[in-house]
């Protein structure tokens, strides 16, 4: 009987697993079935109208413009699995090249150099005679605590069980007013309530970025949004090799073999619903030598969107992908604790807004005020109450963008807080009100005599749409956790089930990265097919490089 592989979820992790199965595991495409509720996972980006079916629970008055719920920061030095695997995926835009070529060639031609990383009351915090944000602003005690955290051995990670960053630095509240914290938290989406364990991993894995966090020179950008630059080529690779994609299918439960003492984990079947066919139920028999790869949690699950005149209608649904994990964890003791990540939105929620304009006036004004051209990473308004950040991409960001259109996005880390210019919680704002809040923040740091506030009507007339997006689990992967709360990629005693997501456990690497999903995919495939793990893609350990660490130490005192 031909061995089969079933992928639950069609995000980047399972797409990577499918390619590993074909490239390294000897599978044919027709042995692989991909099942999901949509086509993009967390790496999304499309015209607004393409999201209508996904958010059919809320009627929108405006389906024009574009939407990207967020952006994923890539890194050339530390995303080893991603670059290696995407070298096997042909470019759709440049025949004879690969997706890795596409991205790195674009990035090298448009290198990131952020000169307006932090914005305070009178513009970029990098002006002469100002508290230049290249300075980290640590006290000696903060240097000690951050070093102690970073140097905690991996074998002792459990000493950080359920400890938040706020608890780790409780004796030095000044830490949360430093340039370092403003930059680090908004670059990677940490909160004070986030896990100190995850901050430790980031400080080790991204130690190269510590020395250049003020310019974000290590950020690698894709030519277009990540759906068009990465997801579509990966899907095309798999489709060309005969992989079956079933969209709008929701797997609702896994069935397991009844084994002595319930030790062995063997999937024997799965139940599903066809969500575009009156929720018609179905069943798939799984043979013992078949493989099941589950996306056990997604940071964009239960999202909700609005439009220019419509606020979001908060989706209170427990993350669907995590619900399947939760059901499995109730049957086996070794499958972690999904409630740690999906039962406390206060730790994980934030809101983004995507702006589409019919001319380039606003983007040009943003460039003037922030002192940087589109494509140069991230600006954070450090005194904004809901903590607002902005990303203006290299244009165009979508292949379907018209030459006269601009698209950019921003996000608020604390959507329950009131705006400073619109006196209501961010989560209750329409797209228009979010734009007004943003324009208020922008005008507040505009040094020009002809302040941008004098051109508000001109800007409003240029707006095609503003899409607010609430993501209750956007930072759930950073929630406080203990060792064991995340299941191993291939749990102990599992014979045919693997987890691939930001919520599985593997050593050293850091979540909230495509690298983590790619590496989990490789680990899952290699483990279940008995390919030696020693043959996995080598990873860099810059935290063991004396020169890198010397520069990091110097940065601490900068």
Which residues are identified as catalytic?
202
Residues 356 and 366: their CA atoms lie apart, in Å, by: 14
Of the candidates 156, 94, 70, the one whose C-alpha atom is nearest the C-alpha of residue 378 is: 70
Query: Cβ–Cβ contacts within 10 Å for residue 295, how many?
Result: 30
Query: Cβ–Cβ contacts within 10 Å for residue 117, how many?
Result: 28
Structure-block tokens of residue 370: 């922030």
Residues 91 and 101: their CA atoms lie apart, in Å, by: 8
The answer to whether 478 touches 512, Cβ cutoff 8 Å, is yes
Residues 152 and 483: their CA atoms lie apart, in Å, by: 14
Residues 104 and 100: their CA atoms lie apart, in Å, by: 6
Cα-Cα-Cα-Cα torsion 39, 404, 70, 65, nearest 10 degrees, comes to: -60
The answer to whether 316 touches 445, Cβ cutoff 8 Å, is no
Q: Which residue has the tokens 């797997």?
A: 251
DSSP 466-522: EEEEEETTTTGGGS---TTSS-BSS-TTBSSEEE-STTSB-SS--SSSHHHHHHHHH
Put residue 26 in one of left, alpha, beta given phi > 0 → left and psi -120 to 50 → alpha: left
Of the candidates 505, 186, 202, the one whose C-alpha atom is nearest the C-alpha of residue 350 is: 186
Q: How far is CA 242 from CA 31, 35, 231, 237, 287, in A?
A: 8, 14, 17, 9, 21
Q: How far is CA 165 from CA 68, 84, 176, 192, 210, in A?
A: 29, 33, 10, 5, 17
Cβ neighbours of residue 204 closer than 8 Å, sequence gap 6 or more: 150, 508, 543
Query: Cβ–Cβ contacts within 10 Å for residue 403, how many?
Result: 7
Structure-block tokens of residue 301: 């699950």
The answer to whether 498 touches 292, Cβ cutoff 8 Å, is yes
Of the candidates 203, 186, 188, 181, the one whose C-alpha atom is nearest the C-alpha of residue 136 is: 181
What backbone torsions phi and psi does residue 120 show, to the nearest 5 degrees? Answer: -120, -155
Prior bond to 396 cis, omega within 30? Answer: yes
Residues 488 and 519: their CA atoms lie apart, in Å, by: 13
E runs forming strands in 72-194: 74-75, 118-120, 123-124
What backbone torsions phi and psi does residue 459 show, to the nearest 5 degrees? Answer: -70, -50
Of the candidates 195, 212, 30, the one whose C-alpha atom is nearest the C-alpha of residue 113 is: 212
HEC string of 271-296?
EEEECCCCCEEEEEECCCCCEEEECC
């Amino acid at each position: 009987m031909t061995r089969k592989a079933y992928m639950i979820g069609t995000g980047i992790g399972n797409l990577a697993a499918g390619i590993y199965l074909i490239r390294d595991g000897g599978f044919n495409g027709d042995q692989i079935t991909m099942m999901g509720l949509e086509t993009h996972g967390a790496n999304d980006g499309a015209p607004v109208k393409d999201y209508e079916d996904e958010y059919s629970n809320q009627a929108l008055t405006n389906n024009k413009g574009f939407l990207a719920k967020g952006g994923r920061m890539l890194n050339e030095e530390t995303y080893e699995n991603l670059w290696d695997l995407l070298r096997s995926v042909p470019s759709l835009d440049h025949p004879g090249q690969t997706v890795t070529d596409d991205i790195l060639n674009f990035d090298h031609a448009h290198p990131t150099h952020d000169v307006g990383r932090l914005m305070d009351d009178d513009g970029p915090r990098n002006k002469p005679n100002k508290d230049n944000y290249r300075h980290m602003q640590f006290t000696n005690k903060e240097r000690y605590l951050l070093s102690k955290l970073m140097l905690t051995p991996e074998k002792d990670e459990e000493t950080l069980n359920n400890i938040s960053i706020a608890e780790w630095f409780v004796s030095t509240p000044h830490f949360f007013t430093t340039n370092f914290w403003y930059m680090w938290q908004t670059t990677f989406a940490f909160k004070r309530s986030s896990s100190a364990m995850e901050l430790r991993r980031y400080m080790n894995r991204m130690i190269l970025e510590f020395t250049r966090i003020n310019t974000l020179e290590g950020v690698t950008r894709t030519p277009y949004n990540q759906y068009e630059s990465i997801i579509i080529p990966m899907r095309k690779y798999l489709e060309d090799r005969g992989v079956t994609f079933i969209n709008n299918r929701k797997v609702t439960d896994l069935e397991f073999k009844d084994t002595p003492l319930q030790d062995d984990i063997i999937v024997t079947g799965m139940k599903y619903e066809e969500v575009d066919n009156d929720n018609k139920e179905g069943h798939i028999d799984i043979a013992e030598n078949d493989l099941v790869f589950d996306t056990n949690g997604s940071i964009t699950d239960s999202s909700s969107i609005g439009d220019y005149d419509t606020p979001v209608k908060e989706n209170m649904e427990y993350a669907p992908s995590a619900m399947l994990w939760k059901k499995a964890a109730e049957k086996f003791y070794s499958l972690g604790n999904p409630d740690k990540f999906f039962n406390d939105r206060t730790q994980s929620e934030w809101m983004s807004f995507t702006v589409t304009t019919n001319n380039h006036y606003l983007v040009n004004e943003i460039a003037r005020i922030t002192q940087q051209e589109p494509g140069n990473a991230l600006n954070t308004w450090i005194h904004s109450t809901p903590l607002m950040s902005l990303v203006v991409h290299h244009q165009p960001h979508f292949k379907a963008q018209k030459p006269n259109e601009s698209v950019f996005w921003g996000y608020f880390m604390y959507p329950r807080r009131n705006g400073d210019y619109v006196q209501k919680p961010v989560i209750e704002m329409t797209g228009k009100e979010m734009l007004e809040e943003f324009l208020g923040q922008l005008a507040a740091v505009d040094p020009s005599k002809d302040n941008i506030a004098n051109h508000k009507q001109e800007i409003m007339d240029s707006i095609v749409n503003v899409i607010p997006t609430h993501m209750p689990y956007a930072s759930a992967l950073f929630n406080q956790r203990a060792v064991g709360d995340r299941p191993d990629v291939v749990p102990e005693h599992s014979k045919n089930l693997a987890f691939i997501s930001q919520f599985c456990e593997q050593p050293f690497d850091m979540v909230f990265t495509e690298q983590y999903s790619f590496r989990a995919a490789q680990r899952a495939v290699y483990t279940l097919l008995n390919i030696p793990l020693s043959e996995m893609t080598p990873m860099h350990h810059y935290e063991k490089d004396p020169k890198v660490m010397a520069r990091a130490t110097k940065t601490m005192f900068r």
